[in-house]
Structure 1
Amino acid sequence: MGANIVCVTSSGGLPIFSRKIGNVESLSFSTIGSLNGVHLFGKSKGLLLESTETENSTVVWKEYDDSLILICVAVMNGQEVVEEIIETVYNALIVFVGTNEIKNFKNVERFKRSLRPSYPIIDCILECLDFGDRNTNLDLLKLVEAILCREGKTLQIALDSFVEVIGTQFGWLTIENCVAAATDGWWSLVQIERKLLSHIVRSSSHCTCFDMPIYLPFKSPTVPIRLVSVCLINPIRVNVLCGSSPDLSAISQKSYQCWSPIVDTLKLAVQSHPRNIPSNLGFHDSINGFLLINMLLGKFLLCTSLKSTKKDSKSCAETLKSFYYNAVRILEKSETLHQPLETYWVAEYHKLHAIKEGDDLICVLFHSGIPTPCMRLISRETLNIIVSQGELSWSHSSSK
């Protein structure tokens, strides 16, 4: 199970890059040429070839700015999801080189070199796909992962003070790559921009601090800005978007001044992981885990460590991810005439139920012994327990 994504030039079909994930072979040069050739043939006849499907695979083509063609071949994933993968990958290219370079590059080899820093991010994007196995990452497309802790308001106040000192509106604090606090400016970014920023921070989490120029696909696609990230204590990072000043050393010094007074609070906040919610919140005994999504803010919370081992926790997360991609995403759509509000699965060893209330959507994994009619009541109860905790501010962009 796996996927391939390739990028070629629109004018001559020259390969720019090829990335893959899972147990599939990389696409050969002849296969890439054939896929590009059939798209080019349709274009010459006034036809737009968008996608096709085989017995277990989906192929999607997408051309951008008469400059690049992205082709994705994915196993066990439908057209809608693969189209989102292509869109996200293209925006990842913009993050590293900007739209002007994509539209007007002259030297193919130089352009290929400039895109190499984007490869780890493209790999992170591909890991969001669901292949129904235990080798995939437990991330979700376009949604940033969040963590809730009792110390959230204190962290938010400290973050707001820190970004004011730096002179920016865009800042966020992560615990194990999960957003624990963020400014209103950061939440105002387009959802896919926030997701790509999270991918960059995650892929560079081994660095004590880093400073890199990036473009924002919607807010700043032609003018670079700086992404600066500083590790406060392992595994907590503070991240900001800013202009040419202050420099990295000054930001590192100011981060120490702002955050060292609450280092004990930071250590307490870390204890919310891997549960991702405060330990004093209790849930029904039939629940093995749940996935909570706020569709308005584009964030999700994954809790699979209620009473399971690390191995069982990963299995729960994989089951919830498959349930979300295969049965739940229809609940997120608002354009249908008859909008479904809930769905469920029944399997031999577990049951799953999802329900949508307002901007929130919760998917709950139960053990198989729970009576099916009871799942709706328990799912609602679980959602209300979290949403009613005002100090956690789940449904708000910040804790202010």
Structure 2
Amino acid sequence: MGANIVCVTSSGGLPIFSRKIGNVESLSFSTIGSLNGVHLFGKSKGLLLESTETENSTVVWKEYDDSLILICVAVMNGQEVVEEIIETVYNALIVFVGTNEIKNFKNVERFKRSLRPSYPIIDCILECLDFGDRNTNLDLLKLVEAILCREGKTLQIALDSFVEVIGTQFGWLTIENCVAAATDGWWSLVQIKRKLLSHIVRSSSHCTCFDMPIYLPFKSPTVPIRLVSVCLINPIRVNVLCGSSPDLSAISQKSYQCWSPIVDTLKLAVQSHPRNIPSNLGFHDSINGFLLINMLLGKFLLCTSLKSTKKDSKSCAETLKSFYYNAVRILEKSETLHQPLETYWVAEYHKLHAIKEGDDLICVLFHSGIPTPCMRLISRETLNIIVSQGELSWSHSSSK
């Protein structure tokens, strides 16, 4: 099971790139030509071809700026999710080359080369699809992963001081690619921007530091800004968006000055991973793991290490991911006449329950022995344990 996404030119159907994930064959040149030909034929007749479905696959077409056509073929994923994948991939292209280049490129080969740095990000985006596969990462479209630790307020104060020294409003601190602290300016960015920035930092986490020019969709699609990331201690990184100054060496020096006094605090904060919540928070024995989402801020927290092995944790994560995509996303929608607030699944080896309260939504994975009527009470209790911890500031954009 897997997915293919291809990009061709609107004018001549020339291939720009092709990426795939999972156990599927890459689309052949003739198949790509046929998919583009069907779209082109409909366009010539005044028809807009958006999607179609086969027995187990969904195909979605999307044209942008009369310049590029993105086509995605995904197994076991519905039209809505595949459309979001295409939209996110297009925004990833903007991040690396800007809208002017996309609309006005003249040399196809040069344009293809300029897009190569975006390939790791596109691969990260495709991993957000649900294939029921333990080998894929647990990642969710448009939502950034967060981590909660007792040291959060100290980290937030240090981050606010650091971005002030740098002269920017946009900064965030990550532990194992999970957001531990962020400025209000960063949280004010559109969700898809934050997600793409997280993908870039994650794909470059092997670097001690990096300085990358990027374009921000919606905010700065034509003028590049800088994304600078510095590793404080493994695996903690501080990241900022800034202008032409200060340079990378100055930012590295300032990061040492700002963060070295609390290096012991940083080491303590790392201990919250992989549980992603403080170890002194206790939950009901029937819980194997949970996925917590704040819909307003666009972030999620995954906890699958309560009492399971690393292998079991991966299985729990993939089960929660499938539950979220197939049953829970309807709870996030506000346009339905009758707003659902909870849902559940019952399987042979486990049970799952999701409940929405305000801007928070929690999906809980139980062992199969839990009585079904008890799941609602335990889910609500689990959510309250986390949101009631004022020092963790789950429902706030910063820990101020």
Please tell me the TM-score bracket, short chain as reference: over 0.9
Aligned match of 2:174: 174
Give a deviation string over 1:23-49, Cα, whole Å, max 9, x none: 000000000000000000000000000
- Say if 1:170 and 1:186, in contact at 8 Å, map to a contact too: yes
Cα distance between partner residues in 2 of 1:218 and 1:208: 30
Cα distance, 1:299 vs structure 2: 0.1
Query: Superposition pairs for residues 189-204 of structure 1, below 5 Å?
Result: 189-204=189-204
CA distance in 1, matches of 2:214, 2:41: 36
For the 8 Å contact 1:150–1:278, the answer to whether it is kept is yes
Is the contact between residue 355 and residue 362 of structure 1 (CA under 8 Å) also seen in structure 2?
yes
What SS does the corresponding residue of 2:117 show, helix, strand or coil? helix
Question: Percent identity over the alignment?
Answer: 100
Decide which moves more: 132-141 or 224-233.
132-141
Q: What is the Cα deviation at residue 134 of structure 1?
A: 1.5
Distance in 2 separating the partners of 1:109 and 1:318: 39
Does the residue aligned with 2:25 lie in a helix, a strand or coil?
Answer: coil
Distance 1:132 1:59 in 2: 19
* Root mean square deviation, CA, Å: 0.3
Check the 8 A contact 1:22/1:135 in 2, yes or no.
no
Cα shift readout 1:165-186 (whole Å, capped 9, x = no counterpart): 0000000000000000000000
Matched, 1:82 2:110: no
- Distance in 2 between the 1:85 and 1:116 partners? 18
| 1:193-245: CA deviation from partner (whole Å, max 9, x where unpaired) | 00000000000000000000000001100000000000000000000000000
Q: For 2:305 and 2:388, how far apart are their aligned partners in 1?
A: 21
| Counterparts of 1:271 and 1:319, CA distance in 2 | 25
- Aligned partner of residue 305 in structure 1, secondary structure: coil
Render the CA deviation track for 1:92-137: whole Å, top value 9, x for unaligned: 0000000000000010000000000000000000001000122221
- In the TM superposition, structure 1's runs of 4+ consecutive aligned residues that sit over 2 Å from their partners are none
User: C-alpha distance in 1, partners of 2:19/2:226?
Assistant: 27
Rounded Cα–Cα distance in structure 1 between residues aligned with 2:167 and 2:48: 47
> Is 1:344–1:352's contact at 8 Å kept on the other side of the alignment?
yes
Query: What residue is the counterpart of 1:16 in the other structure?
Result: 16
Cα distance per residue 1:350-398 (max 9 Å; x no partner): 0000000000000000000000000000000000000000000000000
Distance, in Å, in 2 between the alignment partners of 1:239 and 1:330 is 33
Q: Taking structure 1 as the reference length, what is the TM-score of the superposition?
A: 1.00
Describe the superposition over 1:235-262 as per-residue Cα deviations: whole angstroms up to 9, x where unpaired: 0000000000000000000000000000
Q: Deviations over 1:290-317 (max 9, x none)?
A: 0000000000000000011111111100
SS in 2 for 1:207: coil
1:109 maps to 109
SS of the residue aligned with 1:20? strand
Partner of 1:232, secondary structure, is strand
Q: Is the 8 A contact 1:62 1:70 kept in 2?
A: yes
- Per mean C-alpha deviation after superposition, the further-off stretch among 134-143 and 164-173 is 134-143
Q: Give the match's secondary structure for 2:279.
A: coil
Q: Deviations over 1:134-182 (max 9, x none)?
A: 2221111110000000000000000000000000000000000000000
> What TM-score results when the alignment is normalised by the length of structure 2?
1.00
Structure 2: gaps of 5 or more residues: none
SS in 1 for 2:354: strand
Residue 86 of structure 1: CA displacement?
0.1
Q: What is the alpha-carbon distance in structure 2 between the residues aligned to residue 249 and residue 136 of structure 1?
A: 36
Superposition pairs of residues 263-282 of structure 1, within 5 angstroms: 263-282=263-282
Q: Which runs of 5+ in 1 are unaligned?
A: none
Aligned equivalents of 2:5, 2:78: Cα separation in 1: 15
Asked if 2 retains the 8 angstrom alpha-carbon contact of 1:175 and 1:235, the reply is yes
